[in-house]
Amino acid sequence: MVHSIRFGGKVSEPALVLFDTIPGGAGQVRRAIEDEATLRKVLTAAWENLNNCTCGGEQGNASCYGCLKNYSNQFCHEQLERGGKVLEFFTLMGIGKQ
C-alpha cells in the first residue's frame, strides 16, 4: 500500500512516498498520515536513523543497509545517499537539527 503527500500539488515537485512493506499494507502508513503527531514521530525516527548512521562520512554521500538500502531498492543503490538533499528535506519539514 502506497500513500504519497505531494508538496504544492504539482507532479514535477518532490513527493514524500510512504509505504508499508507488508503486502496489502498493515495500516501503519494510513495511521501516520491521518495524525500529524504520529507522522512527525515517524519522520523524526527516520531522521534519527539517517543522522546517526556513519556511512559516507560526515557528508553522508553513501548509504548502507542500516539506513536506506534494502532488497527492494537495490536497483538504485548507487543513487542513494543519506546526507545532502535527504537531510535537507527533514530540515524543511522542521525535523532534526535546525
Site residues, Zn ion (CB under 5 A)? 53, 55, 64, 66-67
Q: How far is the CB of 44 from Zn ion (least distance, A)?
A: 17
In 1-98, which ranges are continuous DSSP H helix? 28-34, 36-52, 85-92
Q: Are 18 and 58 in contact (CB under 8 A)?
A: no
Nearest to Zn ion of 39, 80 (CB atom)? 80
Strand partners, 3: 18
Pick the closer one to Zn ion by CB: 14 or 66: 66
Q: CB under 8 Å to 59, separation ≥6 — which residues? A: 83, 84
Name the grid cell of 63: 548509504
CB of residue 25 vs Zn ion: minimum separation in angstroms? 26
* Beta carbon nearer to Zn ion, 64 or 93: 64
Shortest Å distance, C-beta 64 to Zn ion: 3
